[in-house]
Amino acid sequence: MHLRTTLCFIVLAAASAASSIAQNPAPEAPSAPQPPAASSAQAAPSAAAPAAPQPFPPVDPANFTATSPTKTTVEEFLNAFWGYDNTRVWQIQAILPTPAAGVSRVLILVKPTTPGPKDQTAQLSFFTLPDGKFLVADTLLPFGAKPFQNYREILQSGATGPSKGGASKAIELVEFSDFECPHCKDAQPIVAKLLADYPTAHFVYQDFPLTQIHSEAQKASAHGYCVTKAGGNDAFFKFSDALFANQAGLTPTTSDDTLKDAETKAGQDPAKIAACAVTPAAKEAIDTSRALGERVGVNQTPTIFVNGRALPLTGIPYETLQKIIEFQAKLDGVPLPPAPPAPASKPAPSLK
């Protein structure tokens, strides 16, 4: 389930190409890097040096007629989403009103910083909503100069699942996961490496069972809740490790034995855990966790939030995940030493 992968690069790339806009000269287009000056022996004394090509065509001030959002807000938003990545440049081409009151259309040009065999400029568009807090491309995304702050605050107070790592929530990683989801199993080594590389980060596990497609997910989550209630965080993560390792046993005919085995490995009494798992309190806890995920836009597992910023936990290179975490920490003004480089003999894995 890699639908959410688009969040890493912002869903704008899925938007269809918009119609062209006017390109009258204006001084707002960023200048391309200037080439090195020619030596006196090479320079022709009577010929002016050619002007450096502009990375984008000029913008037309007449294309900025919407009252909101401002160009500054859009620029801050794009920096929040893309600022970690120095392999692309962009330019805001238009912010236009639409027939819907308060809804504006934003058009952007983006291209890679490295030249290609042909023009690789893409035109992207999205719509901002009247409250200034969300945009719509092919899904609903948070918007604004600090687009992740609202979700960060919601998760800091609402993400109360099993936790480990640093005590401070200055850098908080919240994973929404499903014990029966194969990609969630694949994500476990990634989480372990993140916590090893960033030991001050606070990690929280939140249940998000996909009951429509996973018959045993709700039961497994309820058992995990009861393991935590009985044995605390350490017991939960022992249970979780054992359950993911034997994920193939989560079937209607074998899940009871699989859960018992994981609970025993976590040092818990399977009979007591099974009795707890069928109580209304266990169901309410899992339903609350899932509702929290839905409130912050989770629609697949595994999704991890880095200070409120949603990312797919599998499907992007580990190095990119590191870069985003360190960039988000910088945006939030949180001291976070960069992770040590991977040993030359064991490069950080590319997770696909």
pLDDT at 197: 95
pLDDT at 57: 82
Give the CATH fold of the 150-331 domain: Glutaredoxin (3.40.30)
pLDDT at 349: 53
Which residues are CB-neighbours of 202 under 8 A, at least 6 positions away?
A: 163, 165, 166, 167, 168, 169, 170, 171, 172, 173
Virtual torsion, Cα 260, 263, 268, 271, nearest 10 deg: -30
* Helix, coil or strand: residue 293: helix
pLDDT at 11: 36
pLDDT at 56: 82
pLDDT at 23: 29
The token pair that represents 100 in the structure block: 């819907």
Strands 140-142 and 309-312: unpaired
Backbone φ and ψ of 36, nearest 5°: -60, 145
Residues of the chain with CATH 3.40.30.10: 150-331
- pLDDT string in tens for the chain (352-residue length): 333 333 343 433 333 333 333 322 323 333 333 333 333 333 334 444 444 456 788 888 989 999 999 999 999 999 999 999 888 899 999 999 988 889 999 999 898 888 777 667 788 889 999 999 999 987 778 999 999 999 999 999 999 999 999 999 999 999 999 999 999 999 999 999 999 999 999 999 999 999 888 999 999 999 999 999 999 999 999 999 999 999 999 999 999 999 999 999 999 999 999 999 999 999 999 999 999 999 998 988 999 999 999 998 888 899 999 999 999 999 999 987 777 765 554 555 554 4
pLDDT at 131: 92
Which residues are CB-neighbours of 282 under 8 A, at least 6 positions away?
A: 222, 225, 226, 276
What amino acid is encoded at 205 in this protein? Answer: Y
Virtual torsion, Cα 147, 153, 155, 156, nearest 10 deg: 140
